[in-house]
Structure 1
Amino acid sequence: MIHELREYRIQPEAWPVYWKLFNQVCMPIRGDEFGRLRGMWTEMDSRQVRFFHLWEYASLDDRTRLRMALLDKPGWRDSFLAKAAPQIHKQHLRVLNPLRVAEDLMSQDDEVHLIRYGCEVGRANEFRQRLEESGIEAYALWGMEFPDPNQVVVLTSKGDFALSADAESCLQCTEVTRLKPLALERG
């Protein structure tokens, strides 16, 4: 199984347009037939909205097959992509290998923290092991496949953890993003 974490950066004035399209056009067409939606979160400030959504696939091949099939789905290109794409300022995709993921990611009501630990080349697995040994409380723990295989990603209610000296020695950088959970709008 793989997860794809999609991050869209959207100008604040474009966010209501995009969010309406996502709820009223994207999800009715896509549903969970073209990958399973596991979670959605935002980070907002006066300059941009960062929209994160997490999709689950059986494999990279499955992701490719389903994404191609989605392009053939009636309304996907004309009703969704043609209108949604102009709302997005930047797009980033990360393919993650789930190591531990709670089943109920969509039911989290409180703010969460997405922490990306950038490790020295070849030390991500060592860092992950040290992190797990520390008893980390997390909704999800991933190793990144790409774009950077030297990252470990955590979704948690805590903004930081006391890391052991051994774990710290693996790191080059840490990035913490505070996210608010989103729920699909019905109706």
Structure 2
Amino acid sequence: MIFEERDYHIRPGKLATFVAAYRDHGLEIQKKYLGTFISYFTTEVGELNHVVALWGYEGLDDRMARRKRMLADPDWQAYLARVDGLIERQNTRILTPVDFSPLQ
């Protein structure tokens, strides 16, 4: 199993708007297509206006196939239009758990 960490830097003052849009319009679409939803986080200390999403997949091919199907969904495209202009930048990392990790 692999894990994807999606790290969003949100425009100042727009964090609540972004999180609400995701909760109300994005999450269910992603759950329909993507792998295992692990969690969604915001920051309280340190770098603010920051959101981290964690998803689990069987492997890179699984991730690519699932994301391709999701990107073709018109509802996902409508969600992307809702959050257009709210994200300053995004980083994505693929994480592989070590042999003693509880997440395998």
TM-score for the superposition, normalised by structure 2: 0.85
C-alpha contact (below 8 Å) 1:42/1:52 kept by paired residues = yes
TM-score for the superposition, normalised by structure 1: 0.49
Distance 1:28 1:47 in 2: 27
Distance 2:24 2:3 in 1: 24
Residue in 2 that maps onto 1:42: 42
* Offset of residue 85 of structure 1: 3.6
Moved segments of 4+, more than 3 Å: 44-48
C-alpha contact (below 8 Å) 1:18/1:84 kept by paired residues = yes
Would you tell me which structure has more strand in proportion to its own residues? Answer: 1
Distance 1:6 1:47 in 2: 15
Would you tell me which structure has more helix in proportion to its own residues? Answer: 2
Q: Does 1:18 align with 2:18?
A: yes
1:120-135 to structure 2, matched below 5 A, reads none
Q: Does 1:86 align with 2:67?
A: no
Higher RCO (C-alpha 8 Å, min separation 6): 2
C-alpha contact (below 8 Å) 1:12/1:47 kept by paired residues = no
C-alpha contact (below 8 Å) 1:8/1:92 kept by paired residues = yes
C-alpha contact (below 8 Å) 1:6/1:52 kept by paired residues = yes
Distance 2:7 2:23 in 1: 17
Q: Deviations over 1:45-68 (max 9, x none)?
A: 697411111110110011010010
RMSD, matched Cα: 2.1
Distance 2:71 2:29 in 1: 11
The secondary structure found in structure 2 opposite 1:98 is coil
Q: Deviations over 1:71-91 (max 9, x none)?
A: 1123101x2112224211111
Distance 2:86 2:93 in 1: 20
* Offset of residue 44 of structure 1: 3.7
C-alpha contact (below 8 Å) 1:11/1:48 kept by paired residues = no
Q: Deviations over 1:86-135 (max 9, x none)?
A: 211111111000221359xxxxxxxxxxxxxxxxxxxxxxxxxxxxxxxx
Residue in 2 that maps onto 1:96: 95
Residue in 1 that maps onto 2:30: 30
